[in-house]
Amino acid sequence: MLKRHQKLSLFGLLICSFFAFWGTNSVFAEEKTGIHLQMAPSIQDMELDPGAVYENNFTIANNGSSTLEYKININPYSVNDIDYAPIYSVKNAYTQITDWITIESGQEEGTLEPNHSEIINYTITVPDDVPGGGQYAVIFAEAKDTSNGDSIQDAARIGLIVSARVSGDTRISGEIKDIKAPKFLLNPPVSASAVFTNNGNIDMSARMSLKIENYFSGQVIYDGTSDPVEKKLLPNTERELSVSWNNVPRLGVLRATLVTELPEANDANTKVYTIIVCPIWFIAIIALIFIAIIFRIVSGKNENRHTRNNSKNNQGSSEKFNIQG
Amino acid sequence: MVKTKNIVAALGVVAGIGSAALPLTTFADVTNPQNNTQVIRATVENIFELSVIPNVTLTKTDISQTLAVNKDNENTDLEHVVEVKGNAYSGYTLTMGSNNAYDSLRYVADSSEEFGTAARYNDDVNIPASTSVQHGTSSWAYRTSTTPASDQTASIKGDYSSASWTKVKANSATADTLLSQASSVHAAFDDKVYVNFGIATSETQPAGVYEGEVIYTATASF
C-alpha cells in the first residue's frame, strides 16, 4: 500500500508524462479559406552592366487551405504624382527592365498546394546599348481561388520590386522645395513638410527630421534626428515628405530645427524657427482681459470728464452767487 | 518528517507540471559555458503575405454563392477580408481595382464559355460601377472598414443609401489604395481591411447572372 507522499510523487510523474506526450502531439491545423499568398523577398536591389546576364530567384508560398493556381507577370513600376501611389501599367525610360526579365520556362504559371512553396527562377538579360541609370519593375505572383463561386470574383497578386542601377552615365541631381513649417499652432501636432525632386537618372534617398526644444531653457523635448523619415525618390519624380510630433505642450514657445536632406546629391537644408503653441481658450481669455482693460480705460476717461464738468458747473454757480452777492 | 515528505512530493508535482509546460525544443546545451564565445549570425528573410478571404455575411439563411438582387432588394452581403502582413522594412501599399478593362458587373450571356472571355458576356446590359448604391438604380460599389460588416450595427450595415461608397476602377485607371504603411515605420506589420460590396438594380435590368472580378495588389513601398 503506497503512503501518501509516494502517491503524490507518482501523481506528479504521471502529470509530467501526460503533458510531455500531449505537448509533442498536439498540432491543431487551422482551416484557412481564401487566398493566402506569400512572397519572399519583397524587394531586390541589384547593379547591372550593359550586355551582361544575371540569374536570380524568389519564393512564393501558399499558406492557405485551398489549392491555388498562380501565374507570374512582369510589370513596369512607376509612381503617380507627389503622393507616390504605385502604378504598374505605365512604361517610361526607367522601366525598360520589364523587357529584360524572363521567367524560367515552365514556371510562368502553375499550381500551389496548401502549405507548399515554389522557388521561381528568372533571368535578366541587359542589352548592350542601354543608357546608365535606374531601372524598375515588379514581378507579380497572381493567384485566384477557383473554388469561390461568388458573383464578384477575387484575385490577389503580390509583387517583388526589382530595383536596378545600370552602370554607365549616371547622373545624381535633386532639389528640396516648398518647405512648410507652421509657426503658430492652436493644437498639436507640430508638423512640417517639404517636396523633394529627383532630377537625375538613378534613385536616391530623401530624408527629413525634426527636433523640438524649449525656447527659453533650450531643453530638448523631442529629437527625431536619430530616426528620420527616409524614403526613396525614383528618377524624374517629385515626392512630398512630412514629419510630425504629437506630444506638444498645450501652451508654450518652442524652437524647432527642421533638417531636409538629399544625401547622394549633397543637398541639405536646416531651418530653425520659433513655434508658438496657444490654444483657442487662452486666446479667448487674453482677448477678454484686453477688452476689459480697454473698457476700464474708456469708462475711466468718461468718469473724469463727467467729474470735470460737474466741478465747472459748481464753480459757475458760485461765481454767479458772488456777483449777485 | 511526514510534513517534509509531503512538501517534497508537492514540489515534485509542481516541477513536473512546470517542466511539461515548456516546449521540448527550448532546452539549451549548457555543457561548456565558460570561455567559449561563438558568434551567431542569422539572416532574417524579408517576407510578405497577402490574404483575401471572401465572406458572405450571414444576413440570409441560405448562403448562395450568387448574390441575389432585384429591383426591390439591394445586396450588401459580400465582403472580402484582406490582410497584409510581413516584415518588409520599407513598408507596403495595398490597392484594389477591377482585374480587367471593365469596371461594371458584366451580364453572363453564355455560362458555358470560360470566365473572363468576351464570348461569355453581353456588355450592353452591364451593371455600372458607381459612387453610390441607390434603390431603383443599377449600380455597384464598394466601401471599406476596419471592422467586419457583420459586427456593425444594423443602421450602418443597412444604411447603404447614405453610406460612403467608392467606385470600382477599371484596370486602365490607377487602382485605389486601401492600406499602406510608410517606410519610416520600420516595423513588422499585420493589417486588415474589410471590403464590403453593394449592388442595386433598376426595374428594367434584365434578370440573370452578372459577374465582376477585383484584384488586390500588395507591393513593398519605396
Grid coordinates representing A251?
501652451
Q: What confidence tier does B17 reach under pLDDT thresholds 50, 70, 90?
A: very low
The residues near B1 (Cβ < 8 Å, ≥ 6 apart) are none
**pLDDT reported for residue B53:** 74
pLDDT at B62 over 60: no
Residues of chain B found within 8 Å of residue A146, distances taken between Cβ atoms: none
What span, in angstroms and rounded, lies between the C-alpha atoms of A231 and A237? 13
Say if residues B139 and B127 touch (Cβ distance below 8 Å): yes
Given an 8 Å threshold on Cβ–Cβ distance, is A85 in contact with B174? Answer: yes
- At residue A195, what is the residue type? V
Res. B9 pLDDT band, cuts 50 70 90 = very low
Handedness of CA B114, B116, B119, B122 (dihedral sign): positive
Q: What is the ipTM of this complex?
A: 0.71
- Residue B186's pLDDT is what? 62
Please give the Cα distance from A94 to A103 (Å, whole number): 20
Least confident interval from A42-46, A194-198, B20-24, B173-177: B20-24
pTM of the predicted model as reported, rounded to 2 decimal places: 0.73
3-state secondary structure of A212: strand
pLDDT at res. A51? 95
Give the C-alpha separation, A77 to A164, whole Å: 12
In the predicted model, what is the mean pLDDT of residues B166-181? 88
Quote the CA–CA distance of A103 and B59 in Å, as a whole number: 45
Percentage of chain B surpassing pLDDT 70? 59
| pLDDT given for residue B4 in this prediction | 47
Cell (9 digits) for A158: 503580390
Element counts in chain A: helices (H) and strands (E): 2, 20
Select from B146, B46, B79, B217 the least CA-distant residue to A156.
Answer: B217
Buried b (16+ CB within 10 A) or exposed e, A101-110: bebeeebeee
Q: For residue A175, give every residue at least 6 positions away whose Cβ sits within 8 Å of its Cβ, in sequence order, or none.
A: A196, A197, A199, A262, A267
**Which stretches does DSSP call E strand in chain B?**
48-56, 78-86, 92-98, 105-108, 121-127, 139-145, 176-181, 189-200, 210-220
Contact B182 A5 (CB under 8 A): no
The one-character DSSP state at B25 is: G
Query: Residue B54: beta bridge partners?
Result: B80
Residue-averaged pLDDT of chain A? 85
Q: List % helix, strand, coil for chain B (3-state, nearest 5).
A: 15, 35, 50
Q: Which sign, positive or negative, has the C-alpha torsion A287, A291, A297, A300?
A: negative
Under 8 Å between Cβ of A137 and A58: no
* pLDDT over 60 at B21, yes or no: no
Contact A98, A11 (CB under 8 A): no
Partner residue facing A150 (CB), from B78, B86, B216: B78
Element (H, E) at A86: strand A85-87
What is the pLDDT at residue B161? 62
B172 near A CB under 8 A: yes
- Grid cell, residue A113, equals 498546394
Please write the tens of the pLDDT for every residue from B101-152: 999 999 989 989 988 889 999 999 899 999 988 878 888 899 898 887 666 5
- Of all residues in chain B, the one with the smallest CA distance to A32 is B53
Each residue's pLDDT tens digit, A125-154? 999 999 999 999 999 999 976 555 566 777
Given pLDDT bands bounded at 50, 70 and 90, which one contains residue B209? confident
Q: What is the per-residue pLDDT for B72?
A: 63
Q: Closest approach of chain B CAs to the CA of A131, in angstroms? A: 23
What pLDDT, on the 0 to 100 scale, is given for residue B156? 42
According to the model, what pLDDT value does residue B103 have? 93
pLDDT digits (tens, 9 = 90+) for A171-200: 999 999 999 988 888 887 888 999 999 999
Picking from A180, A189, A194, the residue whose alpha carbon sits closest to that of residue A260 is: A194
Distance from CA of A7 to the nearest CA of B (A): 8
Minimum mean pLDDT range among A41-45, B87-91, B188-192: B87-91
Residues lower than pLDDT 50 in chain A: 16, 18-29, 320-325
pLDDT at A281: 83
What does the pLDDT read at residue B154? 45
* pLDDT surpasses 80 at B43: no
**Separation CA B47–CA A61 (nearest Å):** 10
pLDDT of residue A119: 96
Could you say which residues from 89 to 118 on chain B have a Cβ atom under 8 Å away from some Cβ of chain A?
90, 92-93, 95, 99, 105, 115
- SS3 for B74-105 is CECCEEEEEEEEECCCCCEEEEEEECCCCCCE
Q: How many CA atoms lie within 13 A of A151 on its CB side?
A: 26
Q: How far apart are CA A68 and CA A91, in angstroms?
A: 30
pLDDT of residue A118: 95
